[in-house]
Homo-oligomer: A and B are copies of this chain.
Amino acid sequence: MLTGKNLVAGHWRSGETTFNAVEAASGKPIEPAFAEASSADVGDACEAAAQAQSTFGALALKDRAAFLRLAADKIDALGDILTQRAMLESGLPEARLNGERGRTVGQLRLFADEVEDGAWQGLRIDHADAGRTPPKPDLRMRKIPLGPVAVFGASNFPLAFSVAGGDTASALTAGCCVVVKGHPAHPGTSELVAGAISAALKECGLPQGVFSLLNGTDYALGEALVKDPRIAAVGFTGSRAGGLALMEHAASRDVPIPVYAEMSSVNPVVLMPGRMAEAAADLAQAYVASLSMGAGQFCTNPGIVLAVDGEHTAQFIGAARAALEGVPAQTMLTGGIRDAYESGIDTLGAQTGAELVGTGAEGTGPCGRSYVYTVSAADFRSNPAFEQEVFGPSSIIVRCTDLDEVADILSGMEGQLTATLHMAQTDHEAACALLPILEQRAGRIIANAWPTGVDVTHAMVHGGPFPATSDGRSTSVGTLAIDRFLRPVSYQDMPASLLPAGLREGTSGTLVRVNGTWRLP
């Protein structure tokens, strides 16, 4: 059923060298072998994307939306075949992957609605005023697609942040063609999804250059893709090292391009004293559930918890230890991720002041065992190693003297995707003083929940200051993600017949700003 080929603008192409996916649970190779994309494949995919760009970018909004909806339907229709292959390759459980398929197609459908909403075009019209000195020209603005986007599939969301994931959905919504560099941990999953997108393009009568999928295990493939002059932007979710490398490649081009890399975050969680007095043990239960969910392989894993030392924090630590005992080891996404996790845990445990709170059950095979450490604020502050993300089911509880020390630690932290406050009514005043710090540090601030859920909606920010992402001005989840792949163009005194749809008088059909006044249709 799987071809093991790369999809270059509608053509399935084999290659000279191949690699195999590996069964996450056993570490054994799975058939078929997959072709490593060649530099010719990169060039041809990018050229086809560039050729298709003007057609796809100028498509009527309803047609672009119809394509996204059809792609969603075709991915949904893959059903159990897709789930089974993704389970094999990622080691993630069936329910999670069915849920992730729902998230993926829901995302595409939300973005289809968003295409039709049209406000993302940022339409503005300023009418001429010949009587002004100097005469005021007629000016009309809209946002247009940046051009072909390179999307790097993430290992930890083989569906929702991979081939047809958030970056692909937002780029297509913006009218950008997409060349995906599939994650080598799940090439079969990637091929199935790419086939669905290609079929949707065909059925919609759109050029196949709108979408290509390239597989490979060599970093040079990603580098070639980012450096291809026809690529106009990059979307990436992965490690900090990977993201930084892509940023360098993009900056070294003759024409530098934006890179949207979602890289690393330890997602600080503050346990405020009032709330701890109410519910330390309950918080500990929820904490352990959050940090160990999905073997801790989430960008928003609660890696660092800050609490004021004392009776309730001791209670929290004790309850966390107890809760950990019931946590089974879970298969990790790849052997490489498992090895990096174990090495990260070893490094963490060896730091001065690191005390082991407890661990989950030990597993067999390529499993991740949960670990929680605790450290004093003084030791934490004197050693940046504690702030490094250890990707997997681990977390550190930092015992602080008082809330001033909590504030100091937060102020000194790197940029984060999320920051969380657990608080009771009595904590609000103190929380209010922390909020300006958290706003400076994170893209999302959460009250009384754990950060591991990321809703796909209009007001979501899954982003944050460097190094959480390469570009804190954007989000990679939610409808604002479209904005990343657009740029404004202004038309001055353009005859009506030459203006694009939407900018001709009375044709916007969406939110438009006319002479400074916002108007709804």
Contact B448 A493 (CB under 8 A): yes
A443 within 8 A of B: yes
Contact A513 B458 (CB under 8 A): yes
- A472 partner residues in chain B, CB cutoff 8 A: 146, 487
Contact A489 B458 (CB under 8 A): no
Contact B491 A141 (CB under 8 A): no
A408 within 8 A of B: no
Q: How many whole Å from A145's CB to the nearest CB in chain B? A: 10
Q: Known contacts A435-B498, A465-B255; decide if A518 and B516 are in contact (CB<8 Å).
A: no
Cα–Cα, bound, A309→B497 (Å) = 27
Contact A486 B473 (CB under 8 A): yes
A58 within 8 A of B: yes
- A435 partner residues in chain B, CB cutoff 8 A: 498
- A446 partner residues in chain B, CB cutoff 8 A: 492-493
Q: How many whole Å from A477's CB to the nearest CB in chain B? A: 10
A117 within 8 A of B: yes
- A506 partner residues in chain B, CB cutoff 8 A: none
- CB-CB contacts of A477-495 with B at 8 A, as 1s and 0s? 0011000001111111111
Cα–Cα, bound, A167→B55 (Å) = 36
Q: Known contacts A54-B436, A147-B440, A466-B255; decide if A126 and B488 are in contact (CB<8 Å).
A: no
Contact A453 B137 (CB under 8 A): yes
Give the contacts of A36-87 with B (CB-CB under 8 A): 54, 58
Q: How many whole Å from A208's CB to the nearest CB in chain B? A: 20
Give the contacts of A244-269 with B (CB-CB under 8 A): 247, 251, 255-256, 258
Give 14 new A-B contacts, CB below 8 A, not counting A137-B455, A255-B465, A428-B497. Answer: A126-B457, A126-B458, A136-B457, A141-B458, A141-B460, A255-B467, A256-B470, A439-B489, A443-B490, A447-B493, A448-B493, A461-B489, A475-B490, A511-B511
A residues contacting B by CB (< 8 A) are 54, 58, 113, 117, 119, 122, 124-126, 134, 136-137, 139-141, 144, 146-147, 247, 251, 255-256, 258, 415, 428, 431-432, 435-436, 439-440, 442-449, 453, 455, 457-461, 463, 465-467, 470-475, 479-480, 486-495, 497-498, 511, 513, 515-516, 518, 520
- A125 partner residues in chain B, CB cutoff 8 A: 459
